[in-house]
Amino acid sequence: MAADRQKIVVLGVTGCIAAYKACEVTRSLLRSGVRVKVVMTEAATRFVGPLSFRTLTGEPVVTSLWDDPTASRVFHVSLAEEADVFVIAPCTANVLAKLAHGVADDMLTTVALATEAPLVLAPAMNTHMWWDEATQANLAALRERGAIIVEPDAGELVCGDVGKGRLAGLEAITAVVHAELERVQDLEGVRLLVTAGPTYEPIDPVRFIGNRSSGRTGYAIAEEAARRGAEVTLVSGPTELPDPFGCTVLRVQTAEEMHVAAMKAYGEADAVVATAAVTDLRPAEVSEHKLKKSDTPGALAFERTPDILAEMGAQKGKRVLIGFAAESQDLIPEARGKLERKHLDLVVANDITEPGLGFGSVRNRVSLVTSSDVEELPVMPKRELARVICDRTAALLRQKRRQ
């Protein structure tokens, strides 16, 4: 993206009493130099007129799938593609539910489903609707997919109830939007290598030694980095995950195959995020045929697999190297040891004994370990963790360039 290209926020407005506050959100973004395009639900037009937004932005305002402001392209697709950030403020419980379940029955939800831009949602509703189990489940599903939720404020509501449900303040909403705009293309031109998933080391044509890594964190990092402009190569062990959008994906099975593919890509890489859970040991001998019960040995002889990250660290140069440490005890000391031995810039450490987190889960709790600091992060969806890791990668690259 050209450095001087004006950034575009697509603002969705839904039907509730707080819809008029979207005018202030629009004005604030325009004052900061952002180009704003507005999409309204039909219900939103009952509270504030499209003419208000058209006058503020100087842009067409779309309220229906049947509107066609452009003759050259399918408008909901072009609008989705040009958005740097898509924010919906206010966002009703009804639209939250549609987004959570992939319903696209109007222009706003259709654009939301089509866009690759970060999705910022500022809900507003009655407090009982906010705390309803269905709404909370929809919010959890959207967070796990990477949506950023600007939670509502508590106070007196227009219906007379008191509680959480008021649209968040203007500063809170615009601060989140600007933070996402800062991330847009902050990895442009960076050649990023990501390793992900487990490796499988065969015993015979049927059996293997492996681990429980799902690959979700690495895949989320690869997709987030590609969205932010990086040229991403993902070397992946066996997973059931689809290829992340915008990435070159190299699929492997064994530690040796990952070693060959990763080191080949390493030569061109500016930064590496090594999330793969590479099996440390492999059988010294692999049976050509399936072992029968009667032929199964009482013990297997093992040999070490290549230490990919250590080899990268030995050839580090000016690259940024980020590794992961999954431990069941002495988490921080083990992470610091890995940081030093392998010449890493950052280790993402997680305790694999925490139930419901880490391997096989969509959430995790990690600590970010550097030579001078340990930052403990709260439990978060792996897509949100991917955003944090990409933030750190961008910051480390900027630091390296200044040195």
Catalytic residue among 16, 23, 91, 159: 159
Tell me how crowded residue 367 is: count the other CB atoms within 10 A of its CB.
Answer: 18
Predicted local confidence at residue 355, as pLDDT? 85
Quote the Cα angle for 358-359-361, to 5°.
Answer: 70
In angstroms, how far is the first alpha carbon of the chain from the final one? Answer: 25
Q: Is 159 designated active site?
A: yes
284 in helix, strand or coil?
coil
Phi, psi of 39 (to 5 degrees): -120, 130
- Domain co-membership, 167 together with 208: no
- Better pLDDT: 45 or 292: 45
Structural domain ending residue among the three candidates 133, 155, 183: 183
In this structure, of 153-162, 337-346, 370-379, the range with the lowest mean pLDDT score is: 153-162
Predicted local confidence at residue 1, as pLDDT? 45
Q: Which of 183, 164, 266, 260 is nearest to 224 (CA)?
A: 183
- Domain co-membership, 155 together with 204: no
- Domain co-membership, 136 together with 203: no
Predicted local confidence at residue 2, as pLDDT? 47
DSSP structure string for 76-94? HHHHHHH-SEEEEEEE-HH
Q: Which of 294, 296, 297, 253 is nearest to 276 (CA)?
A: 253
- Domain co-membership, 276 together with 389: yes
Quote the mean pLDDT of the chain: 92
In a domain, 3, yes or no: no
- Domain co-membership, 166 together with 245: no
Q: Which of 262, 275, 281 is nearest to 208 (CA)?
A: 281
- pLDDT tens, position by position, 34-82: 999 999 999 999 999 999 999 999 999 989 877 665 555 556 577 888 8
Predicted local confidence at residue 287, as pLDDT? 87
> What whole-number distance in Å separates Cα of residue 82 and Cα of residue 74?
12
* Mean pLDDT value of segment 182-194: 92
User: Could you tell me the CA-to-CA distances from 383 to 71, 116, 211, 218 in Å, in that order?
Assistant: 36, 14, 21, 10
Tell me how crowded residue 293 is: count the other CB atoms within 10 A of its CB.
Answer: 5
Assigned token pair, 275: 């999330």
Instruction: Note the pTM of the prediction, 2 decimals.
Output: 0.85
Predicted local confidence at residue 121, as pLDDT? 98
In this structure, of 333-347, 353-367, 389-403, the range with the lowest mean pLDDT score is: 353-367
Predicted local confidence at residue 156, as pLDDT? 82
232 in helix, strand or coil?
strand
* Mean pLDDT value of segment 294-314: 88
> What whole-number distance in Å separates Cα of residue 219 and Cα of residue 352?
19
Predicted local confidence at residue 75, as pLDDT? 60
Q: Across the strands, what pairs with 39? A: 12, 62
Predicted local confidence at residue 70, as pLDDT? 56
Decide: 351 and 384 in contact? Cβ < 8 Å. no
In this structure, of 174-183, 291-300, 339-348, 361-370, the range with the lowest mean pLDDT score is: 291-300
Write the CATH number for 270: 3.40.50.10300
- Domain co-membership, 207 together with 147: no
In a domain, 292, yes or no: no
In a domain, 1, yes or no: no
Q: pLDDT tier at 248 (50, 70, 90 boundaries)?
A: very high
Assigned token pair, 40: 């309204």
Total of domains in the chain: 2
User: Could you tell me the CA-to-CA distances from 370 to 320, 347, 367, 378 in Å, in that order?
Assistant: 12, 7, 10, 18
Predicted local confidence at residue 213, as pLDDT? 92
Phi, psi of 320 (to 5 degrees): -95, 125
